[in-house]
């Protein structure tokens, strides 16, 4: 039985095809659990991973947890009905604890296998809600997950022959799944996950990353 009361039925017969990663932005996992189980807050997730690596189930996976909110992925809204939400005990500015990352890898491996979700289906809250959300943030180690087959990362990007072209960048980013948002926000959102230190206008590396993602 779900610990949190904040859930409902998945709509239209939808089943999990995505995993959305969040950070809690709270003092500790206990505070996050209280918030995620508070009916007045109307938020929840399926799993909470603490900094010490302990994992708590808050909403049964066959239920629609209230974690994603407004946004879309691959041109489809109601991400809550087609995703599993995982909250990570992190303040949004600090590195993610090693025990937490170890536990997350085990949890993700189990979820992807059980639900037949591909690595490309593991996304950040920021990916599906550009401008509204930034979690799991610039300190999250997406490349580590990708090395374990638990997310995607555009390795060996060839940018030398790529000319910056916003229309092409946009087409490739949206083919991967990103929502249709303003050019500047789309660039910022892709960089937040794949090039968090990058600044300035669109460049060849951005375009090469988007091209690789379009074929992920």
Question: Which residues are identified as catalytic?
Answer: 87
171's CB contacts (< 8 A; 6+ apart) are 214
CA 26 to each of CA 58, 81, 88, 162: distance values in angstroms, whole numbers, following the listed order? 17, 25, 10, 41
Q: Nearest 5 degrees, angle CA 90-CA 51-CA 20?
A: 55
- Residue 190 C-beta-side C-alpha neighbours within 13 Å: 34
Asked whether the beta carbons of 9 and 61 are under 8 A apart, the reply is no
3-state DSSP call for residue 151? Answer: coil
State the burial class of residue 180 (Cβ atoms within 10 Å of its Cβ: 0-12, 13-18, 19+). exposed
Hey, what are 43's tokens? 């938020």
What Rg, from alpha-carbon coordinates, does the chain have? 17
């Amino acid at each position: 039985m779900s610990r949190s009361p904040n859930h409902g039925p998945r709509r239209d017969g939808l089943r999990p095809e995505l995993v959305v990663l969040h950070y809690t932005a709270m003092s500790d996992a206990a505070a996050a659990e209280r918030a995620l189980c508070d009916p007045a807050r109307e938020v929840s997730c399926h799993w909470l991973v603490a900094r010490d690596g302990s994992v708590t189930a808050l909403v049964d996976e066959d239920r629609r947890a209230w974690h994603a909110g407004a946004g879309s992925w691959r041109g489809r809204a109601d991400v809550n009905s087609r995703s599993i939400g995982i909250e990570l005990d992190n303040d949004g500015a600090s590195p993610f604890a090693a025990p937490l990352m170890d536990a997350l890898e085990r949890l993700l491996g189990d979820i992807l296998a059980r639900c037949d979700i591909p690595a490309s289906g593991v996304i950040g809250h920021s990916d599906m809600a550009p401008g509204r959300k930034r979690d799991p943030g610039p300190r999250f180690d997406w490349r580590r997950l990708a090395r374990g087959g638990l997310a995607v990362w555009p390795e060996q990007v060839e940018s030398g022959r790529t000319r910056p072209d916003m229309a092409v960048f946009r087409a490739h980013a949206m083919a991967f799944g990103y929502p249709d948002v303003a050019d500047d926000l789309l660039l910022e959102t892709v960089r937040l996950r794949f090039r968090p230190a990058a600044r300035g206008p669109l460049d060849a590396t951005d375009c090469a990353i988007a091209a690789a993602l379009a074929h992920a």
